[in-house]
Amino acid sequence: MSVYSEIERYNGFDFQTFFDRVTPAQVEAALIKEKLSEKDFLALLSPAAAGYLEAMARKAHNLTRQYFGRTIQLFIPLYISNFCANECVYCGFHRANNISRKKLSLAEIEDEAKAIAATGMRHLLLLTGEAPGVTPMDYLEDAVRLLKKYFASVSIEIMPLDEGDYHRLRMAGVDGLTLYQETYDQGRYALVHKAGRKTDYRYRLEAPERGARAGFRMVNIGPLLGLGEVRSEVFFCGLHAKYLDDTFLQTEIALSLPRMNPAEGNYQPEFSADDQAFVQFMTALRCFLPRAGITVSTRESAAFRDNLIRLGATRFSAGSCTGVGGYGKRQETGTPQFEITDERSVEEVVRAIRDAGYQPVYKDWDAI
Amino acid sequence: MQDEQLKIGGRVFTSRLFTGTGKFAAKNWIPRMLAASGSEMITVALRRIDSGGSNENILDFIPKNVVLLPNTSGARTAEEAVRIARIAREAGCGNFIKIEVITDMKYLMPDNYETLRATEILAREGFIVLPYVLPDLTLAKKLEDAGAAAIMPLGAPIGTNRGLETKSLIAMLIENCQVPVVVDAGIGRPSHAAEAMEMGADAVLVNTAIATAEDPAMMGRAFSLAVEAGRLAYLARMGQESVTAQASSPLTGFLN
């Protein structure tokens, strides 16, 4: 039993026809429910629900305020290596891309850590490409131990690992795991992941639950919007989150809806979600999963993120640099994985959160 | 009728409304809420305390006359709760500790077994221990024996605002516990707080309903009034409830 069997339940399900047949009455019925069924969730993702955005937004706002209060948890990403053995056609770190490759030494990581800590950030997300030969477990463990001296919480967004390796990183001080499935559509997945270990759809799909078993307190999942048909992608993401939430009572579940930005390699996504659709999807997820964290990164613009504060978002990255090195002054910045849109400093993001009537939370965790 | 004083850990509390620091839109609401509500004890998660850096420290927003009740939120085992309590004491947060051990992140139900183990250890170490539990009379008596200074049963899951879903179980605690019973979690409206106090609860702890209100200070005051009303009603001994109407001028009155 794994999330794979949850996905399999929808083999052969005709999403297009289902979405097209949803009526306004079904949307309204879903909106007044406290506990939404999968069909209710689908109704809120359908074109028919686009006419109910304000009602969905209000419900999302109220649920989020109840369970999270008026707070936004802050974190900052740190890329320590852009070496990668995968060929993800949409990614700037793609192995065939002729970019300057860089892996930070421990001394360089410490410089970055000091520079980031000076901004007041206390929760850090550590990222690498997938190149186990370049960034082996020992290196990752050393990096985490070092970073724990500067940060209250360290999460990882790296290649999927076995439960044993996740456990090693947890023992080194990691408390959260972020891993995006990119696309839940197996056919599309095979098309865009052309080489490397990442070609294994199922190994990646089941990684979040291996992480939960290894004892991470928080697991953050999501699709990369643009690779597959967006409504069904968001649906499967919700289904995945629900499965994790039901199966691992000890684990906090969070999700993200990253939208594709131009990266090196000039991949043109076949699918897209405009701002209206994004708001519909995010608020639908909130209605389906009232307690799930919702993370919004600097892929989104400053103005758009500021508006999402009141619509269900609970976690923001801020002051982000998506190249390797770049926080400390001495390093040169490698090619970024993707272009960020919200380029504000931590201070500016904090001010915007306060202006929206919310409390920016720098720290809500201590590893004891 | 004179109310007896509420005493916990040697401290006398005039207000029977305890509050929390989570979920506020801005930390500067906290002192305003405390002033408006008259609450004399406030709980704060140790994991939310960000000291030493340049960021705002939540402790700076709590007036000195208000008793700090650090809680062990984030703890998954008795050992973790014990470590958090010790850190809180070393950090100057005082001797009070609310034990909160939660291993279920979905419903946020307290783990009664781990909570009892942590209470045993911390009470021996001289802490004033307020364990947050599912209302279970057998457990409550064990907590008393272990040295708990009060018992804090939940009314409904944290943050749900659903009121006293565990009412009949809490009633057993109120009837049989020697230490104060403080209803914690689930109280979503002032009327819920009044209901708990009418039952004879010694105090209530309210966070979400106050912190997420449009005006937390005014809501704090509303809860304070409700707690006082409920307490007075309890002391005044409310009349019996009945399934049938009881006319004020009985039809059979002429027989007397």
User: What pLDDT digit, counting tens, does each position of A303-358 carry?
Assistant: 999 999 999 999 999 988 888 888 876 455 666 767 778 888 899 999 999 999 99
| Residue B6 predicted with pLDDT over 50 | yes
Of B103, B104, B211, Cβ closest to residue A69:
B211
Which conformational region is residue A319 in: left (phi greater than 0), alpha (psi within -120 to 50 degrees), or beta? left
Enumerate chain B positions whose Cβ falls within 8 A of a Cβ in A. Answer: 22-27, 45-50, 53-55, 74-76, 80, 83-84, 87, 103-107, 159-161, 208, 211-212
Res. B244 pLDDT band, cuts 50 70 90: low
Give residue A29's pLDDT. Answer: 95
Least confident segment among B89-98, B115-124, B193-202, B222-231:
B89-98
Res. A1 pLDDT band, cuts 50 70 90: confident
Res. A3 pLDDT band, cuts 50 70 90: very high
Average pLDDT over all residues of chain A: 92
Give residue A242's pLDDT. Answer: 96
CA distance A174 to B146: 35
The DSSP 8-state label assigned to residue A264 in this structure reads T
Report domain A70-280+291-361's class.
alpha beta
A291/B23 Cβ within 8 A:
no
Please report residues of A whose CB lies closer than 8 A to that of B76. Answer: 250
State the average pLDDT over residues A138-153. 96
Q: Output A244 or B106, whichever has higher pLDDT.
A: A244
A250/B55 Cβ within 8 A:
no
Task: Give the bridge partners for A316, in sequence order.
Answer: A74, A296
- SS3 of A252, please? strand
Q: What is the pLDDT of residues A77-104, one digit of tens each?
A: 999 998 988 888 888 788 888 888 889 9
Give residue A262's pLDDT. Answer: 62
Average pLDDT over all residues of chain B: 90
The DSSP 8-state label assigned to residue A68 in this structure reads H
Q: What is the pLDDT of residues B213-227, one digit of tens each?
A: 999 999 999 999 999
Chain-centre distance for alpha carbon A59: 23
Cβ–Cβ < 8 Å for B213, B183: no
Locate the domains of chain A by residue range: 70-280+291-361
CA distance A112 to A133: 23
Q: Considering B23, B27, B64, B98, which one is annotated as catalytic?
A: B98
Give residue A264's pLDDT. Answer: 53
| Residue B152 predicted with pLDDT over 90 | yes
Cβ–Cβ < 8 Å for B204, B19: no
Cβ–Cβ < 8 Å for A315, A75: yes
Give residue A320's pLDDT. Answer: 85
Give residue B124's pLDDT. Answer: 96
Give residue A334's pLDDT. Answer: 64
Please report residues of A whose CB lies closer than 8 A to that of B107. Answer: 249
Torsion over CA: B125, B129, B132, B134 (sign): positive
CA distance A332 to A322: 12
B64 is catalytic: no
Locate the domains of chain B by residue range: 12-237
What percent of chain A is modeled with pLDDT above 70? 95
Res. A143 pLDDT band, cuts 50 70 90: very high
| Contacts for A31 with CB less than 8 Å, ≥ 6 apart | A44, A52, A55, A56, A59, A287
Give residue A107's pLDDT. Answer: 94
Chain-centre distance for alpha carbon B100: 12
Q: C-alpha angle A218/B23/B200, rounded to 5°?
A: 110
Q: C-alpha angle A351/A353/A359, rounded to 5°?
A: 105
| Residue B238 predicted with pLDDT over 80 | no
CA distance B178 to A28: 51
Least confident segment among A116-120, A253-257, B142-146, B180-184:
A116-120
Give residue A357's pLDDT. Answer: 93
| CATH code for residues B12-237 | 3.20.20.70
